[in-house]
Each structure stands twice: as structure tokens, then as C-alpha cells.
Amino acid sequence: MELWFTEKHTKTRGLSFQISKTLHHEESPFQVMDIVETPDFGRVMLLDDVVMVTDVDEFVYHEMITHVPLFSHPNPKHVLIIGGGDGGTLREVCKHHLVQTATLIEIDSMVIEGAKAYFPRIAEGFKSPKAQVIVDDGIKFLKECKTKYDVILIDSTDPVGPATGLFRSEFYQDCFNALNDDGILTVQSESPYIPDLVPIIRDMNQNLSAIFPIVRMYLASIQTYQAGLWSFQIASKRYDPIMDFQESVYLNDGLQLQYYNKELHRACFALPEFVLNIIK
């Protein structure tokens, strides 16, 4: 008998794939985690029945949330990651030769341990000497934060449950306060193809624009995320991610990546008209 899983994106659409084997099931105080083996996507981590990460296409999300802001800043020494318990964003941050410290704040230790056990290639950043991992509430951490960072990355789940507060204006203000005078914030901002998410994307853009002088939205194609098109928003105190792209730093790093490159850095900010209409 074939076993299939469907993640519903709306009441009438979703993503379906066959499951070869269930590898792990666990529940924490925050969410339910399932790790499954699939023919097309390798291992897949589900949180509350939503695809978080897959072996096959994780590199797109993790490279795009990380390298766009890091190569927009001339000297990103200290980086803070909120969420991202699978370790993929941490892995990408630690690749940069200019980065000295990469601090990850994850509310749910279950996700970290699940990634280490079943996604070792994704979780390899946890072994980096640059990495510091703190199990804590990211909202609380930033509100009480006394340290200043060059780049903050919000690698959150969808705006439900414990992640709801990560999409509020007060949280963005706390991010602003925790950044150096030339700091950059990047947040994942959902799929513009899903009608219920459009108001969230618009509100995020407006709230960030009320706090930061420079805000830009960019896109990436991720086949296992809702509708296959994902958005990010970058908010900067000083550097424009298009005009201030650090091409010499990029070339010096010589990173071997699978999605991001210097041409894509600029191109990802070219938005379709329907996306521009969302954030106008």
C-alpha cells in the first residue's frame, strides 16, 4: 500500500508526495515533528504537518536567506540567527571568512537534535568553532539583548504558534536596536502566491519600512515550499543590497554553492508586477 502525505496550502490546494518510511515522530511543548523518507525529496522534516526542510532542495532557502544579506555588508563579523534549528542557515553563515561569531537562538531543542540525528549534512554548522547555540525564546532574547550584531537572520516557521511574535512590529524594533549602526536584518516572508499570506507580506513590508531606511523584497524558487515561490525581506540601516553588493568579498570567499551566485544576487530583487502590487 502506498503512503502519501499532503501539506495543505489552502482549503483546495497543497503539495503531495509519497512516503517510503517514517523515521521519527516526536512532540515537544511547542510542536509535533515528523521525519520521513521520500523517493523524490530524500529525508523531509515536518513540523505540525508543514514541510520545513528536505534533503533535495534545502540549499535554496538556506543560501538565499544567508548570502544575500552577508554579501551586502562589507564586514559581517557577528551574526545572529533566530530560529533555524535545522542548522542549515548556521552552516551557510559559518562559510563566510569574515564571520567571527554565529549565534543561533532556537526555542525548541527537539528540532536541533532531530536535525543532528537525521540531517547531518544540513546540521554540520553546529560543529563550527564560530557557532554558539542557545535554546531560548528568540523574542525574549532580542528584547533583553545587550550585544550588537552586524547581521540578524530570522529563519522562522510560519506565523502561527510560538512564531507569531516574530512577525510583529515590536519584534522588528528589537531587531533594529540589536543591530550595529550599519546592520542588516533579513526575514523569511512567505509565498506571495498564497492569498492568505498576502496581507502578512504587505504588513511585514510596511512595518519594516516604518523602522528601517532601506527595505527590499527578493524571491527564490523552492519546489517544496508553498506554491514554489518564496519571498524574503531585507531591511538595512545603511547598505542597499543592490548598490552595495560586495562582489570582491564574494569572489574572495570562493564559496561552492548550488543556487546563489553574484548574478542572482542582483536579479532576485527584480519582482514580478503582482508582487510589486502587494508591497506598494
**Helix (H), strand (E), coil (C) string for 186-225:** EEECCCCCCHHHHHHHHHHHHHHHCCCCEEEEEEEECCCC
**Interacting residues of 216 by C-beta distance below 8 A, sequence separation 6+:** 233, 234, 240, 241, 242, 269
Catalytic residue (one of 34, 108, 150, 155): 155
- Among candidates 111, 105, 128, which has minimal Cα distance to 32? 111
- Among candidates 56, 35, 4, which has minimal Cα distance to 223? 56
Helix, strand, coil share (%) of the chain residues, nearest 5: 35, 30, 35
Residue pair 225/60 in contact by the 8 Å Cβ criterion: no
Question: Phi, psi (5° rounding) for residue 67?
Answer: -75, -30
- Amino acid identity for residue 189 in this structure: S
Distance CA 221, CA 6 (A): 20
The DSSP output letter for 237 is S
With 0-12 / 13-18 / 19 or more C-beta atoms within 10 angstroms meaning exposed / middle / buried, residue 135 is: middle
182 given a catalytic annotation: no
Give CA angle at 170 (169, 175), nearest 5°.
Answer: 95
Distance CA 135, CA 225 (A): 26
Distance CA 1, CA 105 (A): 41
The set of catalytic residues is 155
